[in-house]
Amino acid sequence: MDDETPIAVALKYDKEKDGAPRVVAKGIRFKADKIKALAKEYGIPVMRNVGLANALFRVEVGEEIPEDLYDAVAEVLNFVYALQAEQQAASQSKPR
């Protein structure tokens, strides 16, 4: 897949249930746009990383990511957790 083809891969990770993050959706072109739109609608963070998305696209939906992608996906999770912490802090500091 080239860098110009729009793709999206959605991950889910539940520390209590999963050994590693899982691919829960993936798509090319229209389906990729739909995945991104749903993420935006539900307030799910989106991160652009073409190389990682291409690597994750090879993983079947429902499967855990392979070990060789752990470090790269850990960076994504750190980004998401930091973003969530910022949003939570901002919502707690707003006057009621």
* 7-93 CATH, one of 3.40.1690.10, 3.40.640.10, 3.30.70.560, 3.40.50.300: 3.40.1690.10
- Give, for all 96 residues of the chain, the pLDDT tens digit: 556 679 999 999 998 999 999 999 999 999 999 999 999 999 888 989 999 999 999 999 999 999 999 999 999 889 888 887 887 788 787 666
Give the SS3 label for residue 23: strand
pTM: 0.82
- Residue 8, H or E segment: strand 7-12
Domain boundaries of the chain, sorted by first residue: 7-93
